[in-house]
Structure 1
Amino acid sequence: MADETGLFIYGIVPSDVEPTPDAAGVGDPPGEITAVRHGELAALVSEVGLEQPMGRPADLTAYQTLLDGTAAVAPVLPVRFGTVVTGPDAVEDLLSAHHDEFAETLDQLEDRLQYTVHGRYDDSALISEILAGNADAARLAEQVRGRPETETREARIRLGEMISQAVELSREAENGRLVNEMGRYAVRTAVRPPSSELDAVNVAFLIGADHEEEFLAAVEDFAEQRRDLIRMRLLGPLAPYDFVGAHQLAE
């Protein structure tokens, strides 16, 4: 008996978008990307075995690569990773049920790209800055320096709490500074939750194509100003994951 298959849905695009011949999907071997069309919309899909486990790093990479590549040439609404339906009829039902909503959102995303600015503190530089600005923390640091942990447990706990609070306040300030300086180039912004204790900034920006070069130059200037404290990286252009509620599109 042949294995049952379904269609993995990547994203929703305008109906005139064609998958490139070399586009590869999830699975092993990677599935061929095709388009299921309905009205003004199309869904980018590939065939997968219904018993095939999803969620390998290679699958997530394939999903993001396809969506990010598509976003570079056309508006796209990402569908939640791992969404699999039984076949083309189910895809058409999804497109039909949300046709006007999806079409309106795609119109709003025309010539829009997401960039994400992510930065992490240099650990030693951060601690030095915190101690320089907090006399109580500096005194505690001096008390515990070179002494056994068993003798300084309470002081170390208080110091850790002070540093943790200072990091949170610094992170809030750095994210606010980034949004204030870059927001003038963005249609929308979204401050993302930290991915580690040392996260300094993590903000997604939806950028209009006409402001892309100015935005990139401004990010470079911002990173240079903060380079002794924060190691920045710029991710993008990306599909608008933070601005279209991808988790809702398959419901």
Structure 2
Amino acid sequence: MTLLVHGVVADHSVDTSAMGDIADVYTVSAGGIAALVSDVRDEPVLPSRAMMLRHANVLEAAAATTTVVPMRFGVAVPSRDALRDEFLHPAQAQLTEALSYLRGRSEWRLRGDYVENEAIRAVLANDRRAASLRGRRDTDAKMELGERIVQGVSGLRDRDTPEVLGHLREHVVELVSRDVTEPLACLDASLLVDDEGQEALERHVEQLAERFAPRLQLRLVGPLPPYSFAAMETTR
């Protein structure tokens, strides 16, 4: 039997029997910290949708009552002794520090996407050449127009992303911004926020959403376990 490690909490800080419909989760303790684990039969643990959803559910249930340091999905060890000897004891100081840093804080996810028609309108308003190509039916004109629109949206992204995130930095403890790949995506960021600052953050994002509408839609999701700020793997 293999142990799947979900996260680490302070010892005795979570009652696994009260974690709703998440069965068979228990803790393995060492030196004042404890790993949230469940038993699986196979190793490696394959990232099925059901398994990854269960992993997230365990972390969210724990984060609702205590501070948790998430593990990345798929961290597995062969036994309780191996978990203590190869991970909890060697990483005790680091994990204890992480728990202290994350206490009273949670992650929020901010996503920004352009509304297609509004983004194109903004590009055409700032690119006379692109505007002149609109409506032409020849292949070369269509191709050039498409290229200029893609470049124009990229320019909007380069301008809007730092402006949005710049307005949020004073409301967060830490911020992680990811590269986006979808053509109409503007930004994808994770924010580490003090619990007492959550309402202020939500209000500020609402104000930014009004400011950038209708070209850009902002969506804020949270609170979440601090996946982007503390996710760790065993050294095994």
TM-score if structure 1 supplies the norm length? Answer: 0.85
Residue 57 of structure 1 deviates from its aligned partner by: 1.6
Find the counterpart in structure 1 of residue 17 from structure 2: 21
Find the counterpart in structure 1 of residue 8 from structure 2: 12
Find the counterpart in structure 2 of residue 204 from structure 1: 190
Alignment of 1:1-251 (within 5 A): 5-23=1-19, 32-50=24-42, 54-93=46-85, 94-143=87-136, 147=137, 151-152=138-139, 154-194=140-180, 196-244=182-230, 246=231, 248-251=232-235
Change in 2 beyond 3 A, CA 1:195/1:17: farther
Residue 48 of structure 1 deviates from its aligned partner by: 0.8
**Higher mean displacement: 188-197 or 45-54:** 45-54
CA distance in 2 between counterparts of 1:41 and 1:199 reads: 40
CA distance in 1 between counterparts of 2:72 and 2:189 reads: 20
**Higher mean displacement: 66-75 or 217-226:** 66-75
Letter in 2 for 1:14: A
What percent identity do the matched residue pairs reach? 29
CA distance in 1 between counterparts of 2:205 and 2:68 reads: 25
Instruction: Report how many residues are paired.
Output: 234
CA distance in 2 between counterparts of 1:43 and 1:32 reads: 14
Q: Is the 8 A contact 1:8 1:82 kept in 2?
A: yes
Residue 31 of structure 1 deviates from its aligned partner by: 5.1
TM-score if structure 2 supplies the norm length? Answer: 0.90
Q: How large is the RMSD of aligned CA atoms in angstroms?
A: 2.0
Q: Is the 8 A contact 1:36 1:44 kept in 2?
A: yes
CA distance in 1 between counterparts of 2:44 and 2:29 reads: 25
Change in 2 beyond 3 A, CA 1:224/1:68: farther
**SS of alignment partner, residue 173 of structure 2:** strand
Letter in 2 for 1:9: V
Unpaired stretches in structure 2, ≥5 consecutive residues? none
CA distance in 2 between counterparts of 1:187 and 1:7 reads: 33
CA distance in 2 between counterparts of 1:172 and 1:190 reads: 16
CA distance in 2 between counterparts of 1:73 and 1:62 reads: 17
Change in 2 beyond 3 A, CA 1:46/1:74: same
Q: Is the 8 A contact 2:45 2:74 kept in 1?
A: no
Q: Is the 8 A contact 1:34 1:45 kept in 2?
A: yes
Residue 35 of structure 1 deviates from its aligned partner by: 0.6
Change in 2 beyond 3 A, CA 1:193/1:182: same
**SS of alignment partner, residue 21 of structure 1:** helix
CA distance in 2 between counterparts of 1:53 and 1:109 reads: 28
Residue 139 of structure 1 deviates from its aligned partner by: 1.4
